[in-house]
Amino acid sequence: MSDRPADIIADADCIVMAVPSAYTAATLEGLDRKALQGKRVLSAIKGILPEQNLLLNEYLHREFSFPLADYYTVMGPCHAEEVAAEKLSYLTFSGQDETSTRELASYFTTDYLNTITNQDVYGVQYAAVLKNIYALGAGIAHGLEYGDNFLSVLIANCADEMAGFLQKVGIRHAGVVGIHEGPEDPVSHRRQANYAASVYLGDLLVTCYSLYSRNRTFGNMIGKGYSVKAAQLELNMVAEGYNASKCIYLINKDIKAEMPIAGMIYRILWENVKAGSGFKQIEPYLV
């Protein structure tokens, strides 16, 4: 079997993409512009392509004229280590067409994998990007030896900040961040489950708290005084939140959402602000 992306894509009806966002463009480089015609793409990428500052679906549309109707995402909250250990986890699938999205989700459903579907393609991607940034912040706080009391307030404020950004980019479910029930089903008149509880708030929580979290681990090293380069070498894995912090900072120049936490994480990582002094500046914003 070939390991060339062009050959794999030619033989596939649906392509699952799980390449770190920083390497996605290079992976697809050289593909014919018509290579994705008639295919479905399922993205497990939780980042923005940093060179282009685009979500994957935006990049695919620009480079391959790929339609959003054939684009799907699979998000958490779940860590691969627990999925491999067959511990009960939840996956969230998003796509414009509800029937097709449910079909894709069904291929992943097992005794230990529950699947949730929605049509919020942009919202879940932005939420996944943001939660990685905030997980870096949670790690920095841990490295600075803040306690659980502070961390709980920090993460609660991160959830609120995330909601503000998502609302600014037009995501209609952003205001709930997983707290309220969803809309009423027109046939059964029962309240629909609110998927945002899992893919927005749940993914934020697990990424900020779990010891499996690469972003939390990376942030912890920054809080302990590692340089960015030293932390990258020590981690030896991709922490998506590092590039994402710069991408969101640039995007927010136009969006103009109130983002003191994400903004400070960007400055700590990219502008050499000391972690300790940076978090002292964050403290007054937390409520």
Closest among 262, 285, 50, 274 to 138, alpha carbons compared: 262
User: What CATH number should be reported for the domain whose range is 122-285?
Assistant: 1.10.1040.10
Cis bond leading into 67, ω under 30°? no
Assign 200 a pLDDT band (cuts: 50, 70, 90): confident
Query: Over pLDDT 70: what percentage of the chain?
Result: 91
User: Considering only 20-29, 196-205, 230-239, which range has the smallest mean pLDDT?
Assistant: 196-205
For 232-264, how does the pLDDT look when each residue is reduced to its tens digit (9 = 90+)?
Answer: 999 998 899 999 999 999 999 999 999 999 999
Determine the 3-state secondary structure of 190 from DSSP. coil
The residue behind tokens 């097709």 is 100
Q: Which two tokens stand for residue 12?
A: 């596939």
What pLDDT is recorded for position 198?
A: 80
Q: Which two tokens stand for residue 99?
A: 């029937």
pLDDT reading at 183 higher than 70:
no
Sign, CA dihedral 126-130-131-132, equals positive
Residue 114: φ, ψ to 5°: -95, 145
Closest among 79, 76, 105 to 90, alpha carbons compared: 76
- Give the span between the Cα atoms of 59 and 26, in whole angstroms: 12
- Give the span between the Cα atoms of 101 and 243, in whole angstroms: 29
- Give the span between the Cα atoms of 36 and 59, in whole angstroms: 13
- Give the span between the Cα atoms of 58 and 68, in whole angstroms: 9
Assign 193 a pLDDT band (cuts: 50, 70, 90): low
The model's pTM is 0.89
For 115-165, how does the pLDDT look when each residue is reduced to its tens digit (9 = 90+)?
Answer: 999 999 999 999 999 999 999 999 999 999 999 999 999 999 999 999 999
Assign 170 a pLDDT band (cuts: 50, 70, 90): confident
For 100-124, how does the pLDDT look when each residue is reduced to its tens digit (9 = 90+)?
Answer: 999 999 999 999 999 999 999 999 9
Average pLDDT over residues 169-194: 55
pLDDT reading at 172 higher than 80:
no
What pLDDT is recorded for position 95?
A: 96
- Give the span between the Cα atoms of 162 and 259, in whole angstroms: 8
What pLDDT is recorded for position 195?
A: 57
pLDDT reading at 182 higher than 60:
no
pLDDT reading at 4 higher than 90:
no
What pLDDT is recorded for position 126?
A: 95
CB contact at 8 A, 180 and 172: no
H helix runs in 144-189, sequence order: 148-168
Burial class, 209, CB count within 10 angstroms (exposed 0-12 / middle 13-18 / buried 19+): middle
Assign 192 a pLDDT band (cuts: 50, 70, 90): low
Assign 188 a pLDDT band (cuts: 50, 70, 90): very low
The residue behind tokens 């511990």 is 87
What is the Cα 34 distance to its own chain's centre?
28
For 76-101, how does the pLDDT look when each residue is reduced to its tens digit (9 = 90+)?
Answer: 888 889 999 999 999 999 999 999 99
- Give the span between the Cα atoms of 115 and 182, in whole angstroms: 17
Looking at per-residue pLDDT, the higher value among 181 and 231 belongs to 231
